[in-house]
């Protein structure tokens, strides 16, 4: 037996279609959804990632402004976030990491208006998620859910093991899974006997940042494995947190790296931006905020 591959591309395409429909609706109201990405480092990987978001946005008629602030200070970054919060033409804000040395990202993401926090970086967004209120989840965590739902992997009542407890992936993902009635075990770097937990799970999501951490020894036969990890190999390719060669013959389905979770993330960032624009329009109709004419 070989696992079914849970490819990200058909999922991303479905997300892009949802974006297209919403962009068309917004155009009838003269609203162009707009994302602002704040960049404060000259890092090759970051530059590549940010230009890929900008390219994807252009294709989908979502405006995207990249604010390249160079080696900015914490004060400049804070002021920029506040200006973007107040700018009614901006619907989504991303503060791209890494930041210059010595700047604490956690004190800055707190400043992003939760209504524009389309990558779920503000702790308020995570808090809202954890009490079941509407909020933007980090796009990577939501990509995992979109893949599982697209391929009709049942979650209600199922035992899901999440390896990783970061605020970007593991914790918000656990909250999303709970909302879908899964029984969730969160494993982390201090978990004793990882295999004891993962080998009992019907679905295992690996977001540990450790290349090939999950092998055939740690998974249950016929389970579903989602690989969130991304690591650049010596040959310049990409690999994940799952040892795919050994796991694939044993499990029923596996999301590959590359071609899995990462493929969906950018599309979801843009969907969140468009949803933020729709929310803004609805709030302005209810008189909760003002919208200038002809935007």
List the binding residues for NADP(+): 164-166, 230
Residue nearer to ligand NAD on the CB measure, 187 or 204: 187
- 244, 233 Cβ separation under 8 angstroms: no
Asked if 244 interacts with ligand NAD (CB under 6 A), we say: no
Q: How far is the CB of 200 from ligand NAD (least distance, A)?
A: 15
Q: How far is the CB of 137 from ligand NAD (least distance, A)?
A: 12
Question: Who contacts 133 (Cβ-Cβ below 8 Å, separation ≥6)?
Answer: none
205 backbone dihedrals φ, ψ, rounded to 5°: -110, 125
Distance CA 94, CA 41 (A): 14
Among 188, 200, 222, 285, binds ligand NAD (CB under 6 A): 188
Distance CA 192, CA 178 (A): 23
Distance CA 99, CA 70 (A): 10
- 92, 35 Cβ separation under 8 angstroms: yes
Distance of CA 160 to the CA centre of its chain: 19
Residues 246-275 contacting ligand NAD, CB under 6 A: 261-262, 265
Residue nearer to ligand NAD on the CB measure, 187 or 225: 187
Residue nearer to ligand NAD on the CB measure, 73 or 189: 189
Residue nearer to ligand NAD on the CB measure, 80 or 263: 263
Residue nearer to ligand NAD on the CB measure, 190 or 286: 190
CA dist list (Å): 229 to 131, 260, 268, 288: 27, 10, 18, 41
Where is the binding site, in residues? 164-166, 230
* Pair type for strands 231-232 and 238-239: antiparallel
Distance CA 176, CA 279 (A): 21
How is the chain split among helix, strand and coil, in percent rounded to 5?
40, 15, 45
Strand order in the sheet with 4-5: 4-5, 253-255, 224-227, 203-206, 159-163, 183-187
What is the DSSP secondary structure assignment for residue 7, as one 8-state letter?
Answer: -
Asked if 217 interacts with ligand NAD (CB under 6 A), we say: no
| Binding window for ligand NAD (CB under 6 A); candidates: 30-38, 80-88, 98-106, 163-171 | 163-171
Asked if 165 interacts with ligand NAD (CB under 6 A), we say: yes
Among 140, 223, 243, 248, binds ligand NAD (CB under 6 A): 140
Residue nearer to ligand NAD on the CB measure, 167 or 179: 167
Going residue by residue from 88 to 127, which x/- string records binding to ligand NAD, judged by CB under 6 A?
----------------------------------------
| Binding window for ligand NAD (CB under 6 A); candidates: 31-39, 50-58, 73-81, 228-236 | 228-236
| Binding window for ligand NAD (CB under 6 A); candidates: 77-85, 92-100, 128-136, 224-232 | 224-232
Binding site residues, ligand NAD, CB under 6 A: 140, 163-166, 168-170, 187-189, 191, 194, 207-210, 213, 228-230, 241, 261-262, 265
């Amino acid at each position: 037996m070989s696992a079914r591959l849970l490819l990200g591309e058909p999922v991303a395409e479905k997300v892009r279609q949802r974006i297209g429909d919403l962009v068309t609706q917004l155009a009838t109201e003269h609203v162009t959804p707009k994302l602002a990405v704040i960049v404060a480092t000259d890092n090759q990987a970051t530059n590549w990632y940010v230009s890929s978001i900008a390219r994807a946005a252009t294709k989908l008629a979502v405006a995207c402004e990249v604010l390249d602030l160079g080696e900015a200070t914490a004060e400049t970054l804070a002021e920029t976030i506040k200006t973007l919060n107040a700018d009614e033409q901006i619907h989504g804000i991303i503060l791209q990491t890494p930041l210059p040395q010595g700047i604490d990202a956690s004190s800055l993401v707190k400043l992003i208006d939760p209504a524009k926090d389309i990558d779920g970086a503000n702790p308020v967004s995570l808090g809202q998620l954890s009490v079941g209120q509407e909020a933007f989840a980090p796009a990577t965590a939501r990509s995992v859910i979109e893949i599982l739902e697209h391929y009709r992997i049942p979650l209600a009542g199922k035992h899901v093991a999440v390896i990783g407890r970061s605020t970007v992936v593991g914790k918000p993902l656990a909250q999303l899974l709970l909302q879908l009635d899964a029984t969730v075990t969160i494993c982390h770097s201090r978990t004793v006997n990882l295999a004891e937990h993962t080998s009992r799970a019907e679905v295992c999501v690996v977001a540990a940042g450790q290349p090939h951490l999950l092998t055939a020894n740690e998974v249950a036969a016929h389970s579903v494995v989602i690989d969130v990890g991304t690591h650049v190999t010596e040959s310049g390719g990409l690999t994940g947190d799952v040892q795919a060669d050994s796991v694939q013959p044993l499990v029923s389905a596996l999301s590959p790296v590359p071609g899995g979770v990462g493929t969906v993330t950018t599309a979801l960032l843009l969907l969140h931006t468009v949803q933020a624009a729709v929310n803004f329009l609805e709030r302005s109709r209810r008189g909760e905020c003002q919208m200038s004419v002809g935007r």
